[in-house]
Amino acid sequence: MATLLIAEHDNTNLSDLTARALTAACAMQAPVTLLVAGSNCKAVAEQAARLDGVEKVLVADAPHLAQQAAEPMGALIAELARDFQAVLAVASSTGKSVLPRAAALLDVMQVSEVTRIESPDTFVRPIYAGNAIETIQSSDPIKVITVRSSAFEPAGQGDASAPITAVAVPDDMALSAFERQELAQTDRPDLGSARIVISGGRAFGSKETFDRFLEPIAAKLGAAIGASRAAVDSGYAGNELQVGQTGKVVAPDLYIACGISGAIQHLAGMKDSRYIVAINKDADAPIFQVADYGLVGDLFEILPELESKL
Ligand code: FAD
């Protein structure tokens, strides 16, 4: 029995996160079939077929799948899943919305935010905002799993192309309708997959200051910008930039935390980064407990100096 991996995409481009989830899917010790569900998503299927480790690509193409809403996606996945040992998706907004519905339709328990696959039925995941790590064994006939993409290296891409097959799409149940989408426009790399993230906290005091001090350094480093919840709640940064338990979980090569105290809910979203640099004027700030390099000082002096050195 193969593993079904749900591709993360925007109907045009396959997200890098899919290659990471594929590494997790391959650890399930069974051939991997990738499902590309969307509308006019042929180009995505072709990109998906070139990923190393994909045995087959299924394409479900229908107008009502364009936004990958939970209702039609859940029905589609539940229908297909009966031929698979497991269904995997990235623990993204889409995966978190779609997979619980599929799991409920299949009457199985979802295992969420998996960071390691021990065996086809045993998974490791953080609980209590990352304060404890749970190993969980599932006896469900079909495992339904979301994976933390940051915990897995991306699978490679080759010239070989896996076969692409169209699948029948269940009729639109019209349980939900798409209203509108508001996307933040940015030239910065995507926060979830950036190699470098520079984040700011409450210390910046205003949106203008947040942007003025962080933007030039992010541009020089080719980094994504992140924020603590205090910075987001104060209006210095958009919601989509929040890192932490209720924001995004990131694990870049380099995470620079500026004026962030290191509350446990923030650490839950970044403590697995390869190198952590913290800039804080309080030498006792908890962020220094996870930092590889700590700079104790005023960020309004340190950041311009850092920028000029870069
Ligand atoms: P503060 O804790 O106020 O820290 C500001 C820091 O800046 C201090 O350490 C201070 O020493 C330093 N500083 C001040 N001025 C300067 C200066 N000039 N130079 C250098 N350093 C300076 N938080 C998140 O970030 N992400 C989440 O997802 C999240 N989810 C949450 C979920 C729940 C259920 C709850 C209860 C809380 C959550 N929080 C989350 C909030 C979290 O508890 C903290 O309140 C928040 O992270 C604090 O943000 P901060 O570090 O920017 O602010």
pLDDT tens for residues 130-188? 889 999 999 999 999 999 988 899 999 988 899 999 999 999 988 888 899 887 777 88
Residue 160: predicted pLDDT = 84
| DSSP secondary structure code for residue 108 in this structure | -
Q: Is 119 annotated for ligand binding?
A: no
ipTM above 0.85, yes or no: yes
Q: How do 122-127 and 132-137 pair as beta strands?
A: antiparallel
Residue ranges of the chain that CATH labels 3.40.50.620: 3-166
User: Residues with Cβ within 6 A of ligand 1?
Assistant: 201-203, 228-231, 242-247, 259-261, 263, 265-266, 269, 279-282, 285, 298-300
- Hey, which CATH number is domain 196-309, 3.30.365.10, 3.40.50.1220, 3.40.190.10, 3.40.50.720? 3.40.50.1220
DSSP strands (E only) in the chain: 2-6, 32-38, 54-61, 84-90, 110-114, 116-119, 122-127, 132-137, 143-147, 164-166, 196-200, 224-227, 254-258, 275-280, 293-296
Distance from chain centroid for Cα 126: 15
The parts of the chain modelled with pLDDT lower than 50 are: none
* CATH, domain range 3-166: 3.40.50.620
Q: Is 157 annotated for ligand binding?
A: no
Residue ranges of the chain that CATH labels 3.40.50.1220: 196-309
Ligand 1 atom closest to Cα of residue 285: 9
DSSP strands (E only) in 45-103: 54-61, 84-90
Q: How far is CA 11 from CA 38, 47, 57, 216, 247, in A?
A: 6, 11, 15, 32, 24
What's the CA-to-centroid distance between 219 and ligand 1, angstroms?
24
In the block, tokens 């978190």 appear at 96
